[in-house]
Amino acid sequence: MTLSQTNSSGFQAQRLISDIASVVLEQDGQTIHLRLDPLMPDPALPCFDPDYLPSQAQVVASGGRAAAWFVQLASVEAVLRHFKRGGLMARLVQEHYLWLGLERTRSFAEFDLLRVMWQAGLPVPRPLGAAVWRGRLTYRAALLTQRIQHARPLGQCTEPQVWLEAGRVIAQMHQFDVWHADLNVFNLLVDAQDKVWIIDLDRGRRTALTATQRAENLSRLLRSVRKVSPELESTCWHVFKQGYQAAFNDA
């Protein structure tokens, strides 16, 4: 069931009556698709703009490609991320991706994966909203997720017990058959209670993981440790592996 609506900016929208709202906007000849959690304020579209003054956007200093901000929504603190390319392709085009269908857009795919993981109780931030600005052949994308308060990257943690918990968390992710495309020490956050969170599931996917895929994920994380905090390999990596294996043994 859908409900037609016109918001205060004159946009025509179709809102799906369900827990998650799907909205389609037409603006200046461009189609904008939104996927929204009930916590999102109305109107939601301005919340995807870091220049929207009520959001009080502050640039996220660490990790990413300088396209993430801490923002204040009506009822929740969030992280806004605009999807940007890396590597050689970024020299040609930074924000635009080839349109292959709405469900294959970077923001909608990550939103849906986070939603499944969050509902299953895995330690990922609650997905709040996804936006897609569609052109004729390309699109731009953005994602809003709930902010993890007082968080620090795993690479800044020297406590073995935290690394033991990180191993258990990654094992839980793998047991849930989720493959993380960029598993590194910045995409594992530790909050004030030493709970470990998994963030940035861009290009991640849920599939029947093989032992080789799990090992490759861990190897990527180890390379990150060696690059960012090499001293932690000798003091904490073996503890991480103990936590990882213990979670599989307990399953």
pLDDT at 91 (0 to 100) = 46
pLDDT of residue 36: 97
19 is an active site residue: no
pLDDT digits (tens, 9 = 90+) for 41-69: 999 999 999 999 999 999 997 655 558 99
The CATH architecture to which 152-250 belongs is Orthogonal Bundle (1.10)
Q: What pLDDT does 13 receive?
A: 39
The C-alpha angle 107, 63, 102, rounded to 5 degrees, equals 5
At 8 the pLDDT is 34
How far is the C-alpha of 202 from the C-alpha of 80, rounded, in Å? 13
Write down the catalytic residue from 19, 182, 194, 202: 182
Taken as a whole, the chain contains a residue count of 251
**CA-closest candidate to residue 122, choices 130, 134, 114:** 114
Angle ∠(93,94,99) on CA atoms, nearest 5: 75
Using 50, 70 and 90 to split pLDDT, how confident is the model at 18? low
Task: Find the angle CA(110)-CA(72)-CA(142) to the nearest 5 degrees.
Answer: 30
Arithmetic mean of pLDDT, 144-160: 96
User: What's the whole-model pTM score?
Assistant: 0.89
**Average pLDDT value for the chain:** 89
pLDDT, one tens digit per residue, over 173-203 is 999 999 999 999 999 999 999 999 999 999 9
